[in-house]
């Protein structure tokens, strides 16, 4: 049987031909795919503006900068996410405040966020973890009540919807990742989506060394970042985006197959699929119920001994060495994050996964629980 991969893209002749075209048209259309991808990706998500970036981390950094986040400010983030959701807060000299997650969606819990708000809170970053969606209505209401910005980190949520609204349409701005492990892949790449024209203009200047698009040549207005995309990268992304239904469909198929082949296993949780919503399922995660008495590290160790790959559920950010001294403060405040994370693993989710391989993983899970 061929290798089982945790993550990886689905590249076809369409992507290869599109990249070839971008290279052949280099002189005539140096930014064609950047512009087309940005515009069509924004429109697909019901947003007015899109800005492609070198990766999603830079998209978050751009947006938080444009929102005026700086030293002394606090920004709420969920405990369980990739560090990229929070790192740009620190880049700007502001403080990340870690909030607990919901036990079912594994996304930021609105009540925990409410308890974390202080007079310094400027923004809340809601993360659509593994394609799951938080209670956006509650989060938006909370942000409105306290006059703080809602930012949606939809890095993992291409294809997800909540009550008919696509992930990426929530808050003042949203971000996506096209990292080589994601559903739409450009190797490295990201996108910032916005509705507000002034914010879009500000982010455009911040993205290109303080140059105003269309402004006089070499007249930089201020010292900012260089977070421009390039056309070859955008060509891959655009070609993948044209196949979005196929790519997301395969991710959903993977979740459905895991559900089918694990259906007899008691006391486990997989990504939820809320009524009226679609879970784009970047990754299928499995949380072992307490009755199994199994930690994620023990589970992964046993699976790896069977030759099966698995990865840990994200650790609570406050438990990482990157945030020294934070565990003591946050572990008692965020018990769900520490509990769920300790019992969760990610299952293989590469876009070349076959049903035979999924059955093999499920048989492995049944074997380690026997
Ligand atoms: C939730 C989340 N936010 C942000 C990022 C950052 O994306 P990138 O690697 O494109 O910078 C990732 C990527 O892994 C992510 O999973």
pLDDT tens digit sequence for 114-153? 999 999 999 999 999 999 999 999 999 999 999 999 999 9
- Which residue do the tokens 């007079």 mark? 119
- For residue 175, give the H/E element and its range: strand 173-177
Please give the class, per CATH, of domain 244-369. alpha beta
In the chain, where the domains are located: 13-241, 244-369
Fold match between 13-241 and 244-369?
A: no
Counting every residue written for the chain, the total comes to 370
Residue list, ligand 1 pocket, CB within 6 Å: 55-57, 81-82, 84-85, 127, 153, 155-156, 177, 179, 190
Q: Among candidates 32, 51, 34, which has minimal Cα distance to 194?
A: 51
Rounded to the nearest whole angstrom, what is the distance from the C-alpha of residue 263 to the centroid of ligand 1? 31
pTM (2 decimals)? Answer: 0.97
The Cβ of residue 156 has, within 10 Å, a number of other Cβ atoms equal to: 27
Question: Does residue 1 have a pLDDT over 70?
Answer: no
According to CATH, the topology of domain 13-241 is 3.40.640
Structure tokens at 205: 């200047």
Determine which one of 182, 250, 251, 296 is catalytic: 182
Give the pair of three-digit tokens for residue 240.
């993948």
The beta strands (E) that lie in 19-116 are given as: 49-53, 74-78, 95-99
Q: What is the mean pLDDT of residues 312-334?
A: 98
More confident of the two residues 274 and 126: 126
Residue 368 corresponds to which tokens in the numbers above?
């380690």
Q: Which tens digits make up the pLDDT trace of 221-240? A: 999 999 999 999 999 999 99
Compute, in angstroms, the gap from residue 156 CA to the centroid of ligand 1: 7
Active site residue 182: yes
């Amino acid at each position: 049987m061929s290798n089982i991969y945790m993550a990886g893209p689905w590249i076809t002749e369409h992507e290869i031909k599109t990249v070839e075209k971008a290279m052949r048209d280099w002189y005539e259309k140096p930014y064609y795919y950047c512009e087309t991808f940005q515009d069509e990706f924004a429109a697909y998500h019901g947003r007015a503006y899109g800005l492609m970036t070198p990766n999603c981390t830079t998209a978050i950094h751009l947006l938080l900068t444009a929102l005026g986040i700086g030293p002394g400010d606090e920004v709420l983030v969920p405990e369980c996410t990739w560090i990229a959701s929070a790192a740009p807060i620190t880049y700007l000299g502001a403080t990340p405040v870690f909030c607990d997650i919901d036990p079912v969606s594994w996304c930021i819990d609105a009540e925990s966020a409410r308890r974390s708000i202080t007079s310094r809170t400027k923004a809340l970053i809601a993360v659509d973890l593994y394609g799951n969606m938080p209670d956006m209505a509650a989060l938006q209401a909370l942000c409105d009540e306290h006059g703080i910005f809602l930012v949606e980190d939809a890095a993992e949520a291409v294809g997800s919807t909540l009550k008919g609204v696509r992930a990426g349409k929530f808050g003042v701005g949203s971000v996506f990742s096209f990292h080589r492990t994601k559903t739409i892949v450009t190797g490295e790449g990201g996108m910032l989506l916005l509705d507000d024209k002034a914010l879009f203009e500000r982010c455009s200047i911040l993205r290109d060394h303080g140059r105003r698009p269309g402004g006089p040549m070499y007249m930089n207005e201020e010292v900012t970042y260089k977070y421009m995309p390039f056309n070859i990268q955008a060509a891959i992304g655009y070609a993948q985006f044209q196949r979005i239904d196929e790519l997301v469909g395969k991710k959903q198929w993977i979740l459905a197959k895991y559900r089918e082949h694990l259906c007899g296993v008691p006391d486990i949780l997989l990504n939820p699929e809320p009524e009226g919503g679609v879970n784009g399922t970047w990754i299928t995660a499995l949380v072992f119920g307490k009755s199994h008495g199994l930690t994620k590290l023990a589970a992964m160790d046993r699976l790896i001994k069977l030759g099966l790959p698995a990865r840990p559920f994200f650790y609570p950010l406050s438990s990482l060495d990157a945030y020294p001294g934070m565990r003591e403060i946050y572990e008692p405040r965020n018990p769900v994050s520490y509990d769920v994370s300790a019992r969760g693993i990610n299952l293989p989710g590469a876009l070349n996964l076959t049903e035979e391989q999924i059955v093999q993983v499920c048989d492995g899970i049944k074997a380690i629980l026997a």
